[in-house]
Amino acid sequence: MAITPIKNLKEFSTANDRFEGAHLLCPGCAHSMIVRELMNCSDDNLVIATNTGCLEVSTAVYPYTAWDTSWIHIGFENAATAAAGAEAMYKARKRKGTLKDPDAPVKFVAFGGDGSTYDIGFQWLSGAVERGHDFTYICLDNEVYANTGGQRSSSTPIGSSTTTSPAGRVSYGEKKMKKDMVSIMAANGAPYVAQLAPNKWKIMAKGFQKALATEGPCFINTVSSCTTEWKFDPKDTVHITDLATDSLVFPLYEIIDGYELNILYRPKNILPVKDYLGAQGRFKHLFKPENKHVLDEWQKRVDASWERLQRREEARI
Amino acid sequence: MKGVCATEKRGTKEIGSEELVGWDAVTQGVVINSFEGNATNVASLKQEERNYSDFSSYTATVASWRVVKPVYNRDICIDCQNCWVWCPDTSIISRDKQMLGIDYDHCKGCSVCVEVCPTNPKSLLMFAEHEEIEKALESWPTKEK
Amino acid sequence: MAEKYDLQEVEVWDGNYAAAHALRQAQVDVVAAYPITPSTPIVENYGLFVANGYVDGEFVMVESEHAAMSGCVGAAAAGGRVATATSSQGFALMAEVLYQASGMRLPIVLTVVNRALASPLNVRGDHSDMYLGRDSGWIQLDAFNAQEAYDMTLCAFKIGEDASVRLPVMVHQDGFITSHTAQNTNPLQDEEAYAFVGEYQTYQEMLDFSKPVTYGAQTEEDWHFEHKAKQHKALMDSRAIIDDVFEAFEKKTGREYKRVESYMMEDAEVAIVALGATVETCRLAAQQLRAEEGIKVGVVAPRCFRPFPFDKVREALSDVKTVCCMDRSSPGGAMGALFNEVSAALYSTKNRPLVTNYIYGLGGRDFSVEEAKRIMREQKAHADAGYITTAIQQFSGLRGPKLGFFETNRR
């Protein structure tokens, strides 16, 4: 197994990057922080499938590829199935003895944005997880269809102004809370699911390594702060993500075998949700007096979700 | 602008400047190979030890995206590697646990490295793209109280 | 190691069972599939082969046809032999990925049991799904009976996987008429069949870690056109390989196949062009009509629907007076596809025969020998008159007032 636990950042920095620069992601994009870290977590060979989206259109534009590993993109919805197909081929060829290097360790990984994970690729992901393929699916969750210019997805949270749920004179933007994909995937039978964030690099690395080492389908929702659609300065990507995890808007936790929930990060000082919301242009309108109820609603929901997580951690159900 | 650990191929091509070959010369099935020759165990090789193909984006540059650039001050740096782990453009060159410098062929000037730098004064600061490195280092601020 | 399946010299197989055996004998590495009428028995029978130890490869039962083809693309890019089966709505659902498979030049074999497309929902055979695939960049072979469903499936692997082709291949058979009709079939023994198909030759596989490969890159206006042109050329050039493979198959089995099959065409004055099981109906009608009424009629059938055998169609029909193209698909506001393509091929011939179009057999409506004979007589009347005496597009076997479109202006 070429997955060795990472002690500290200095040691981690000796990893040799397999995700190359001159990709076309925006300056300050969290996607590449997450992808780089996943690829640096293991020396194993990787077969990576990617759904259509920012990551895909920015990293494989002919005649260039940013990927130093085997990589495939088919459509918007089917990276999970592409990875599953490749994994099935690996099993068949291993059995038949037709692999060029049968002993080479390999991991199968799929990436998708929240649009392709929560919405259009939901069925493909659910099917691949149910069938038990040995792969890790990582959702780069920026809560919006960023690649196409900022339309709402079922991951877009309440009050967010997007191009298809815009805030206006009579609307405060998106009306619904986001879908709870982590719980859905745990209930779908994934032996390991987690929500991780790149600001907490060590927790994220550990979670990635656990997922890669776990046999069977693993699902990880990663917080990918989007400078373009969340409307903050590119330099602040890590800072905004700090606000997300410290306000518990994005609590970091894992669920093993569907019941063993572990909270992975407990902020020393829990920040008010409005600190997180106030730092982003997409929530600017919520600070008008008439939208105060949305801010209140937000805080209420985050509190409730944190309470629920803690109870689930205790109860082990 | 060639810096540390640069290979002959790093960042030599402006994106969009590649030769537009005819239908007979494009790759079959739009398939692209990242390396020339045998690239077994690429994870064990540093970038400068790899034999990148012309199709790897490593051989292209996005330097023209930048209006401001990070400048690195070795004298202050504690090699914490914060900049390395959070750089979205694989542009912090770290070797053997030491920060060596910036890959200006691939850096887009987002300033994340400066934001996450914990030293006082910072070991990385943003300067105008046209500013000379020596001048930038001369004008470095002193420790903030 | 998969067990050998003992086969008789003559087996009584329907088209589905024949196709399933061909997939088994080709030792496919990954079958990712989803069941749909009338192709379901291909998947079921293959599953039974797996359950009884006759298959070494992986059998992945996915959650939709879109996922079936997606899994096939992922598996094929990982370097191995891949196949699946579908029909109708399932075919429509996988349409997106069909284009991706051919664009990536992945030699997947898809056995299509032709069926009508809704709405209204219909499970019976027509060619709507086959026609839907005609611009998808796949090679499309057409089987007219169970034996041919078996033969074409074996040939499909050898054609698609040829290093100079590397394209996906569909093998079509008619829903129920072919897929569910048991007929005498002469299979090859397992080892003979596998020897014919040959070992899979990998090319740019994702599991060769000495050569990392990127599949499915984006191309915009600077590059897209060149890639599509290269793909089109490969499809056009596959004609020579198809001929070679058919020739090799004949040497092995004595069964002769051509990209365009001609029947009683040597002295024909009137020709019917058809696809699928209808070809056999028309052949019988032609035989009878020659014997009974002395009408010199022949039957031309594109065995290879894509790449469209423009050259061979011209050769086959250059000397006739009238041609009737039989389209078993609702043309949706146009002339039938077969009519359009055959007419286009004939337009640049010296003789330029009169060409008419029949829409027939939609949703599994029966097409009889008698009806074929009636149509042939009608073509003979056009030939004698020197112009098309009816509407150019007509409907065969349709209830209600006579329906037809466009009159000739060559009167």
Per residue in A15-31, pLDDT (tens digit) is 999 999 999 999 999 99
How sure is the predictor about C194, in pLDDT bands with cuts at 50, 70 and 90? very high
Residues of B in contact with C217 (CB under 8 A): 30, 32
Q: Would you tell me which residues 247-306 of chain C have a C-beta closer than 8 angstroms to some C-beta of chain A?
A: none
> What's the mean pLDDT in C4-24?
98
Q: Judge whether A218 lies within some domain.
A: yes
- The 3-class secondary structure across C252-298, one letter per residue, is HHCCCCCCEEEECCCCCCEEEECCCCHHHHHHHHHHHHHHHHCCCEE
B63 pLDDT more than 50: yes
Q: Judge whether A132 lies within some domain.
A: yes
Residues of A in contact with C78 (CB under 8 A): 47, 85-86, 89-90, 93
pLDDT, one tens digit per residue, over A256-279 is: 999 999 999 999 999 999 999 999
Alpha carbon B57 to its chain centroid, in Å, reads 12
> How many other C-beta atoms lie within 10 A of the C-beta of residue A229?
26
Who among C56, C63, C71 is closest to A96 (CB)? C56
3-state DSSP assignment of residue C224: helix
* A65/B40 touch (CB, cutoff 8 Å), yes or no: no
Amino acid identity, residue A116?
S
pLDDT, one tens digit per residue, over C343-355 is: 999 999 999 999 9
Structure letter (DSSP) for residue A175 = -
| Helix (H) or strand (E) segment spanning residue A315 | helix A292-315
The two three-digit tokens of residue C47, written as one number: 């599953």
The interface predicted TM-score (ipTM) is: 0.97
Residues A298 and A277: their CA atoms lie apart, in Å, by 9
Amino acid identity, residue C234?
A
Residue reference for tokens 């790149």: A198
C77 in contact with A, Cβ within 8 Å: yes
C410 pLDDT more than 70: no
> What's the mean pLDDT in C238-249?
98
Who among C70, C78, C200 is closest to A90 (CB)? C78
C213 pLDDT more than 80: yes
Residues of C in contact with B35 (CB under 8 A): 211-212
Q: Which domain holds residue A40?
A: 9-157+179-271
C209 in contact with B, Cβ within 8 Å: yes
Domain with residue A68: its CATH number is 3.40.50.970
Q: Which phi and psi angles does A266 have, rounded to 5°?
A: -120, 105
- pLDDT for position B2: 54
pLDDT, one tens digit per residue, over A139-152 is: 999 999 999 999 99
- pLDDT for position A317: 75
Could you write out the DSSP letters of every residue in C13-52? E-HHHHHHHHHHHTT-SEEEE---TTTHHHHHHHHHHHHT
Cis peptide before A166 (omega within 30 of 0): no
Number of domains within chain A: 1
How sure is the predictor about B1, in pLDDT bands with cuts at 50, 70 and 90? very low
Residues of C in contact with B20 (CB under 8 A): 222-223
Q: Which domain holds residue B109?
A: 13-138
Residues C384 and C387: their CA atoms lie apart, in Å, by 8
Residues of A in contact with C100 (CB under 8 A): 74-75
pLDDT, one tens digit per residue, over A40-52 is: 999 999 999 999 9
Q: Delimit the domains of chain C by residue range.
A: 11-185+235-253, 261-405
Contact between residue A61 and residue C221 where contact means Cβ atoms under 8 Å apart: no
Amino acid identity, residue C53?
G
Closest approach of B140 to chain A, Cα-based (Å):
20
> What's the mean pLDDT in C5-27?
98
The domain at C11-185+235-253 falls in which architecture?
3-Layer(aba) Sandwich (3.40)
Distance between start and end Cα atoms, chain A: 31
Torsion angle in degrees (nearest 10) through CA of C125, C128, C129, C131: 130
Task: Using a pLDDT cut of 90, give the percent of chain C over it.
Answer: 99
Who among A14, A16, A64 is closest to B55 (CB)? A64
- pLDDT for position C411: 55
Residues C242 and C155: their CA atoms lie apart, in Å, by 8
Q: Judge whether A283 lies within some domain.
A: no
Q: Which strand ranges, in their side-by-side order, compose the sheet holding A136-141?
A: A260-263, A253-256, A192-196, A218-223, A136-141, A106-113, A45-50, A70-72, C213-215, B32-33
Q: Judge whether B6 lies within some domain.
A: no
* A21/B90 touch (CB, cutoff 8 Å), yes or no: yes
- CATH code for the structural domain at C261-405: 3.40.50.920
Domain with residue B49: its CATH number is 3.30.70.20
Contact between residue C345 and residue C323 where contact means Cβ atoms under 8 Å apart: no
- pLDDT for position B6: 83
* A86/C215 touch (CB, cutoff 8 Å), yes or no: no
Residues of B in contact with A20 (CB under 8 A): 56-58, 90, 106
* Alpha carbon distances (Å) from A130 to A85, A189, A218, A259, C369: 14, 6, 11, 17, 50
Contact between residue A159 and residue A74 where contact means Cβ atoms under 8 Å apart: no
3-state DSSP assignment of residue C303: coil
Residue reference for tokens 């260039």: A64
The two three-digit tokens of residue A153, written as one number: 């997805």
Number of domains within chain B: 1
C210 in contact with A, Cβ within 8 Å: yes
With CA atoms as reference, report the closest residue to C54 among C13, C110, C7: C7
User: In whole numbers, what is the pLDDT of chain C averaged over residues?
Assistant: 97
C124 pLDDT more than 70: yes
How sure is the predictor about C289, in pLDDT bands with cuts at 50, 70 and 90? very high
Closest approach of B9 to chain A, Cα-based (Å):
13
- pLDDT for position B144: 82
- pLDDT for position A1: 46
Amino acid identity, residue C130?
M
Residues C274 and C285: their CA atoms lie apart, in Å, by 13
- pLDDT for position C1: 83
Who among B43, B61, B81 is closest to A22 (CB)? B61
Distance between start and end Cα atoms, chain B: 34
Residues A260 and C333: their CA atoms lie apart, in Å, by 60
